Structure 1
Amino acid sequence: MIDTEPLLATLLEERKARRGLPPYLPQEDRAVAALLQSWYDEREPGANVRDVARMGGGASREQFIFTLERDGTERRYILRMDPTEGITETSRAREYEILRAFEGTLPVPAAVWLDIDADHFPCPAMIVEVVAGVTKPTSDQLSVTGLGTILGDPLRDIIRPQFLGHLATIHNFDWSTADLPSFTAPTDDPKQPTRWLIQFWKELLEQDAVTKEPVLRLATQWLEDNVPDCEKISVVHGDYRTGNYLFEEADGRITAILDWEMCYLGDLHADLAWAIQPVFGSHIDGVFRGSDLAPPAQFLAEYEAASGNRVDPAKLHYFTMFNAWKSYILVAALGVRAARQAHNHQDVLLTFLAATGPLFVDELARLLMMEESQ
């Protein structure tokens, strides 16, 4: 058994078991509409499902938006359903639990139904309410959401304090009193949170790598040899960046924090290093802004002020290395494998994202050379 969190170890074994399955056939709108209607017939007799449509984007889950009519009212919902394999290996139960835990504390979509064992839908699925907002300015028609997104002035100055304030709320949340049965607290020793994390992603790399990159082997060894202590175990979002929140374009108000599927309990520095990764930022007139919100020094200083948490430069450096390594595994191992096996509905997008793999190899090489020179 891999030395990682029990649920993650189970996910790894399930992924292995699915490797030999036939190509995944994307669900048709009509079939999904019938599944949704029968789901509500069992749970809310009299409710009517209509206007079912596939949503674009998303490199991991299939998503369908629909309208539900009941008791004379109409509301919009999203069905999130697993393909055979995706760019991440995650649990709908965990995503459902964390959304429920933060409801009323953070702006998050309301999670309303869960089919974790695929008793009704063909794959594990959950249903969440639709939240109004956009992930990028409507004037930006070129960039993939979150990659090279430019918020610009005055939006970035309006959004930044909200973005950092919500991140502070996540990191300071008392997870020990929340109803999170699918999460296991890594409390045996101060290195366990990050050691569990490394072992999970290392196993995914070994399962799914389609090329052998020497730099990845060196980075893996460095990460294993330099695991830092985690003095404060926090909820870590796992993909906190511009592109993973909705905001009202008219006034810049953040309406929902999205994409919690990679959430876990661990070191908060992982989220900070992720949000200021070069691939998620902007370079304008010689100034780099993490998530197009602020230069890293300003970003981190304002986070410290909002959260009361001190940023440790050594840990930030460690998770900068980790995040480049993790990003490579996502796009150049899991994503490529899922596309090649025809186990995902977004094979074209997964292949497109694989082109960013060399960027992360180059970043890892740069960081490792820095270590050698010290």
Structure 2
Amino acid sequence: MTDPKYGPRDPLSAEQVAAAVAALRANWTVLDAEPMPAGSDIVYGVTVRDAHDRRREVVLKCFRRDGPVEGRSPERFFVEVDLLELVGRETAIPVPEVYGAYRSRDGLPAPAFLMERLPGEPPLGVAAEGRAAVAERLLRESGRYLARIHDLRSFDAFGDLVSGDGGPAVRDGRATWPARLRDIVDDSLDGLAGTRFADLAERLREYADGRFDELDLAADAALLHGDYRPGNLLADPGTGEPTAVLDWGAAQAGDPRYELAWAVREFAGRAPVGSVARARVREAFIDAYEESRGTRFERDAAFERRQSFYLAVTWLVECRWFDAWWGGADESAREARAERLRENVKELR
């Protein structure tokens, strides 16, 4: 994600970073701090000396009030703390330990939290040839982790999650999944006005209306990570074993099959539908997901039709946010992706 409002600009002084860390861990001393790129919030990698005179690598994350994501709020930002603590407490999914958090502090960016910095590297290029065993392990473990996330909590409504008194809660929820999905589609279509994809809006609206009329989209409201992709994971580059699942601030309550469509698309490196790379990723990921949940999808025509629609919705969302996600990318990569999205829309049936 490369809009100028996404990192790595440096909005905090060294004194502000030190003060924020001190507000969370008074007996820790900041030795060094560097802004971290590619985030919608203010994120710093910080080296500290703790109370036992040991060096620690930690991450300071602060709410960015001028961030690029519409609808963000302190409560939406703070749900990540709730989820990191919940997932760390109730699962074996590797997530950072939260060392401290505050909702407000005079003179400091707020809310903010401090967390462990886990080892590993972003496992980009999962679908690349040449390291099949490493890619297979990453895909299967990531599929199992996503299944565990989806089984962790259920909700009475569908929508974005915020930090509530009793943990993650749905804000301004919808009673049914089709209603929630319709909001996602309509908001994205409305947001195409004035973009390079404005001319696709009518075609996409016609397609979406047909799918809403045709498909059975009934679902239970499960916990969704909200942005489950290789860029939000860390992994051991030698083995493919995931070492961290990060960035829970986009969590929502929704249909797990919708997040599966997004995850397969992202872990396949956005490979075209029907490609060998995408088919390989899809099979490994969903097989491990089903194995972890102890149940299999009935992969009939209705299932495939629904998943195709969900995939098309992810394309629509990407068109809506194209400038934010691709604005700072290499021009050739950006233009190639824009053309691929147009081809995807042309091929919708």
Alignment of 1:238 onto 2:226: yes
Per-residue deviation at 1:101?
2.1
CA distance in 1, matches of 2:8, 2:286: 44
Matches within 5 A, 1:1-374: 26-27=9-10, 31=13, 33-55=14-36, 57-58=37-38, 60-72=40-52, 73-81=54-62, 82=64, 84-86=66-68, 90=72, 91-104=76-89, 105=91, 106-114=93-101, 120-122=107-109, 125-136=112-123, 145=124, 152-176=131-155, 179-184=166-171, 186=173, 188-202=175-189, 204-206=191-193, 209-211=194-196, 213-227=198-212, 228-277=216-265, 280-281=268-269, 288-290=276-278, 294-307=280-293, 308=295, 310=297, 312-332=303-323, 334-335=324-325, 348-349=328-329, 354-355=334-335, 356-367=337-348, 371=349
1:90-148 CA-partner distances (Å, limit 9, x unpaired): 43123232222211312112234445568544465443210111113xxxxxxxx4597
Contact 1:234 1:265 in 2 (8 A): yes
Distance 1:107 1:323 in 2: 26
Give the distance between the partners of 1:358 and 1:123, measured in 2 at CA.
40
Structure 1 residues 57-66 or 314-323, which shifts more? 57-66
Asked if the contact 2:44/2:60 (under 8 Å) is kept, the reply is yes
Deviation at 1:316, TM superposition (A): 0.6
Could you tell me the percent identity over the aligned residues? 17
Please give the TM-score of this superposition, normalised by the length of structure 1. Answer: 0.71
CA gap of 1:225–1:186, structure 2 versus 1, over 3 A, is: farther
Give the number of equivalent residue pairs. 319
Contact kept? 2:155, 2:222, Cα under 8 Å: no
Q: Give RMSD over aligned pairs.
A: 3.7
Task: Pick closer, same or farther for the CA change 1:353–1:148 going to 2, 3 Å.
Answer: farther
SS at match of 2:132: coil
Structure 2 gap ranges (5+): 157-163
Q: Whole-Å Cα distance in 1 between the matches of residues 198 and 126 of structure 2?
A: 24
Distance in 2 (CA, whole Å) between partners of 1:353 and 1:200 is: 26
Q: Which amino acid aligns with 2:204?
A: A
Q: Secondary structure at the match of 1:276?
A: helix
Quick one: structure 1 residues 113 and 278, their matched pair in 2 at CA, closer, same or farther if it must change by over 3 Å? closer
Cα distance between partner residues in 2 of 1:201 and 1:116: 31
Aligned residues of 1:234 and 1:268 also touching (Cα < 8 A): yes
Q: Tell me the alpha carbon deviations over residues 283-316 of structure 1, each in whole angstroms, 9 at most, x when there is no partner.
A: 7xx96334xx934345434432332252522221
Instruction: Work out the CA distance in 1 between the residues paired with 2:30 and 2:129.
Output: 37
For residue 129 of structure 1, what is the amino acid of its counterpart? E
Question: Does structure 2 retain, via aligned residues, the 8 Å contact 1:183–1:264?
Answer: yes
TM-score (norm 2): 0.76
